[in-house]
């Protein structure tokens, strides 16, 4: 089976992890801050906080922004459930903004309409979580302008998008620089662009948010006298000044992350080359290829197609199963989150986000990863030609 995504582990990664494993620190040593420095530099952000998953990073980002009971978080329905669950963790309510039919990212037009209605109803969201689906950045200038106008904080879920850029020419900036947001979150799960096995990070330019996220990720405990209510009792002293969790990344993970980040550019370039090859090879098949908005360059986490199901006998589930039977590890990103039973029980229904639901009804993700070979890609294309014939 050719998987839809897979990690690339080289000898340099193995050596880095073994070195960490046999060092003095398995956790809370020098490698996590070193990895944070690599991430902050690469994203051109002032701070990066490395944690044990993007899910944890989303949670501490919401905590740092003060999201709580009675508040509202909005995200896109076409995402992994974690982009929404972080709001529930904080006791907030979650709602969704429909997607753009071209990019499948959160639609700024739908966002504006929903903000106008929310203001009239006196229930504006506190936090907005746009997701850079498949690695293509959202229209962040438009989303940021609306968020500013309505006083909404923004967390970019860039789980798919490390290495992506926004803007053109001298204005070209890496995703993660938080130019249009308060915080940006990355995932290092093995199917993503670079991996730490499990892992995630949050970048920000705000020192207070950085401090709050660090506290939230480590029990709310500090050894910094400046954050304490009184002078330390002695050299042993620490204080718990907030409620936090244990979301720390290990030294092994950070070592792997540092080593993987050396190849970020290569990975994104390899994925972009495979995507360009699909664009050519799939021309003429009964499907829509991904649309790239101008002035945004994708990290190409996923290659998402929309099947043409208007032909007689064309059926999404049958096509999916037939491709799997051909040894092609197709997948589907994503089942709209508002249709999950957990969110249905919170008042969401089919029909709430029609563009997202129409997307889902035709969606398919085909294999895309940096180490894919020409032979792998030829096999995927041949299977698609056969199954869609």
Ligand X SMILES: *Cc1c(COP(=O)(O)O)cnc(C)c1O
Binding site for ligand X (CB under 6 A): 53-55, 79-80, 82-83, 131, 157, 159-160, 187, 189, 200
Residue number with CB closer to ligand X (83 or 203): 83
Ramachandran bin of 241, using left for φ above 0, alpha for ψ from -120 to 50, beta for the remaining angles: alpha
Which one of the listed residues 37, 114, 172, 192 is annotated catalytic? 192
Distances, alpha carbon 2 to alpha carbons 49, 58, 193, 300, 343, in Å: 34, 31, 17, 17, 33
Catalytic, 192? Answer yes
| Cβ count within 10 A of residue 196 | 29
Cα angle 155-157-160, degrees, rounded to a multiple of 5 = 160
Instruction: Assess contact for 143 and 116: CB atoms under 8 A.
Output: no
Q: How far is the CB of 285 from ligand X (least distance, A)?
A: 26
Strand stretches in 179-308, DSSP E: 183-187, 200-204, 221-222, 239-240, 287-288, 296-297, 303-307
Q: Is the dihedral of CA 337, 194, 2, 306 positive or negative?
A: positive
Minimum CB–partner distance for residue 229 and ligand X (Å): 33
Tell me the closest approach of the beta carbon of residue 160 to ligand X, in angstroms: 6
Return the structure tokens found at 242.
Answer: 């907030």
Distance in angstroms (rounded) separating the CA atoms of residues 141 and 298: 16
Tokens of 246: 């244990």
Token duo for residue 84: 């929404």
From the CB of 365, what's the least distance to ligand X, in Å?
11
Strand-pair partners of 200: 51, 187
Q: How far is the CB of 40 from ligand X (least distance, A)?
A: 18
Cis upstream peptide for 334 (omega within 30°): yes
Closer CB to ligand X, residue 103 or residue 222? 103
- For ligand X, which is the closer residue by CB, 159 or 222? 159
43/282 with CB nearer ligand X = 43
Between 23 and 340, name the residue whose CB sits nearer to ligand X: 340
Of the two residues 111 and 134, which places its CB atom closer to ligand X in the complex? 134
Q: Where are the beta strands (DSSP E) in 216-347?
A: 221-222, 239-240, 287-288, 296-297, 303-307
The tokens of 338 are what?
Answer: 């508002």
Least spacing, CB of residue 150 vs ligand X, in Å: 23
Catalytic positions are: 192
């Amino acid at each position: 089976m050719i998987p839809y995504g897979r990690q690339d582990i080289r000898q340099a990664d193995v050596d880095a992890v073994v070195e960490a494993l046999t060092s003095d620190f398995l956790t809370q040593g020098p490698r996590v801050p070193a990895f944070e420095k690599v991430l902050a530099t690469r994203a051109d952000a002032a701070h990066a906080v490395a944690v044990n998953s993007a899910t944890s990073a989303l949670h501490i980002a919401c905590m740092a922004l003060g999201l709580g009971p009675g508040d509202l978080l909005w995200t896109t329905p076409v995402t992994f459930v974690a982009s929404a669950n972080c709001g529930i963790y904080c006791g907030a309510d979650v709602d969704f903004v429909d997607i753009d039919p071209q990019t499948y990212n959160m639609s700024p037009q739908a966002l504006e309409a929903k903000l106008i209605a929310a203001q009239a109803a006196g229930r504006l969201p506190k936090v907005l979580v746009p997701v850079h689906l498949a690695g293509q950045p959202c229209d962040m200038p438009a989303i940021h302008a609306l968020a500013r106008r309505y006083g909404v904080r923004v967390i970019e879920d860039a789980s798919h998008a490390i290495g992506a850029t926004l803007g053109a020419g001298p204005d070209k900036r890496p995703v993660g620089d938080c130019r249009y947001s308060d915080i940006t979150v990355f995932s290092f799960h093995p199917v993503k662009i670079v991996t730490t096995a499990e892992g995630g990070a949050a970048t920000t330019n705000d020192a207070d948010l950085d401090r709050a996220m660090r506290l939230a990720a480590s029990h709310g405990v500090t050894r910094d006298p400046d954050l304490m209510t009184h002078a330390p009792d002695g050299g042993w002293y620490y204080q718990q000044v907030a409620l936090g969790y244990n979301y720390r990344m290990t030294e092994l993970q950070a070592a792997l992350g540092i080593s993987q980040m050396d190849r970020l550019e290569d990975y994104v370039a390899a994925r972009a080359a495979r995507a360009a090859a699909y664009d050519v090879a799939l021309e003429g098949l009964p499907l829509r290829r991904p649309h790239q908005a101008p002035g945004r360059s994708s990290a190409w986490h996923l290659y998402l197609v929309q099947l043409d199901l208007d032909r007689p006998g064309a059926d999404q589930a049958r096509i999916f199963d037939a491709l799997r039977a051909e040894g092609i590890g197709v997948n589907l990103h994503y089942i709209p989150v508002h249709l999950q039973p957990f969110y249905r029980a919170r008042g969401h229904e089919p029909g709430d986000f029609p563009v997202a639901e129409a997307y889902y009804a035709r969606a398919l993700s085909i294999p895309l990863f940096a180490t894919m070979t020409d032979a792998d890609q030829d096999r995927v294309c041949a299977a698609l030609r056969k199954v869609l014939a």
